[in-house]
Amino acid sequence: MLLGADIRRIELKAEAIRETIITMLVAAGSGHTAGPMGMADIFAAFYFHVLSHDPEHPEWAERDRLFLSNGHIVPVRYAAMAHAGYFPLEECLTLRKFGSRLQGHPERMRLPGLEATSGPLGSGLGQAAGYALGARLDNKKFRVYCVMSDGEQDAGNTWESAMFAGNNKLSNLIAIIDRNNIQINGMTEDVMPLENIAAKYEAFNWHVLEVDGHNIRAFIDSIEEAKAIYEKPTVIIAHTIPGKGIKEIEFDYTWHGKPPTKEQAQRFLHELRTLKGRISSEHE
């Protein structure tokens, strides 16, 4: 049973992850801000509750597999992995540096714990679906998760993969769409309208859930419901706020692909630490 104290622990991890994201982006001098900040709650839930994994043995054969299709938001994954113990927090400051294990898009062969190299949007669901089918053929019990952006629902190969997964009734596959409504050059509904996403996936034989992506308990409950579905894959449409935690950049698509300056980072970190302190004091 998930207690209130468990949720608060994950919420505090999410805020710590947001602080680390800002710090690493400033050190890199490039990278994506809005998406990683918006997905911090979900990645905190993954690495501190949902996933069956072992940071000390990242290649453990029975671990759950987490595919990150929208590789540009990888700072949130690196930060979550560091806080979970996969590597020292200080290594986060090497983001995007020459020779670093923490490249701007994840590279599977560089860092243990990554399941796939990603960058071109639209590839992740196919990778995850193929892995899920392989796991079934090998009678493996681990689950396969795939995080996608809403913008990459523009890509045709995403829908080929959705048809494949639905046709093969891959109930060991759970996809999460980061529905933050922004793309690099505007709002999704202006660039290429996506709605009704739920109806589209239902048409391809998926079980569809929608949650507030910042409500950690609701997200975890949706994962538990997905695990109880035996005849089809599940997609969780997680509604998130791009830039979550920093009021001046929330919902601003221009922050999709730029980092904060040192001066901005000082303000942002102060805001995040104030929020983290509020979370802690409310429950003491």
Q: Residue 181: left if φ>0, alpha if ψ -120 to 50, beta else—which one?
A: left
Task: For the chain, give the mean pLDDT.
Answer: 94
pLDDT above 80: residue 278 = no
Full-model pTM: 0.94
Query: What is the predicted pLDDT for the residue at 274?
Result: 85
Give per-residue pLDDT as tens, 30-88: 999 999 999 999 999 999 999 999 999 999 999 999 999 999 999 999 999 999 999 99
**Is 243 buried (19+), middle (13-18) or exposed (0-12) by CB count in 10 A?**
buried
Question: Read out DSSP for 50-96?
Answer: I----TTSTT-TT--EEEESSGGGHHHHHHHHHHHTSS-GGGGGGTT
| Tens digits of residue pLDDT in 217-243 | 999 999 999 999 999 999 999 999 999
Query: Is the CB of residue 274 less than 8 Å from the CB of residue 281?
Result: no
Which residues span the domain enclosing 23?
A: 4-282
Q: What is the pLDDT of residue 209?
A: 98
Could you give the CA distance from residue 37 to residue 66 in angstroms, rounded to a whole number?
A: 19
Taking residues 95-103, report their average pLDDT: 95
Domains held by the chain: number: 1
Residue 185 has pLDDT above 90, yes or no: no
- Report whether pLDDT(279) > 90: no
Q: What is the pLDDT of residue 3?
A: 77
> Which 3 state secondary structure label does DSSP give 204?
coil
- How sure is the predictor about 275, in pLDDT bands with cuts at 50, 70 and 90? confident
pLDDT of residue 186: 87
Measure the CA–CA gap between 32 and 78, rounded to whole angstroms: 13
Q: Say whether pLDDT at 283 is over 60.
A: no
The confidence band for 284, taking pLDDT boundaries of 50, 70 and 90, is: low
Look at residue 115 and tell me whether its pLDDT is greater than 70: yes
Q: What is the structure's pLDDT at 63? A: 98
Reported confidence tier of residue 4, pLDDT bands at 50, 70, 90: confident
CATH of the domain at 80: 3.40.50.970
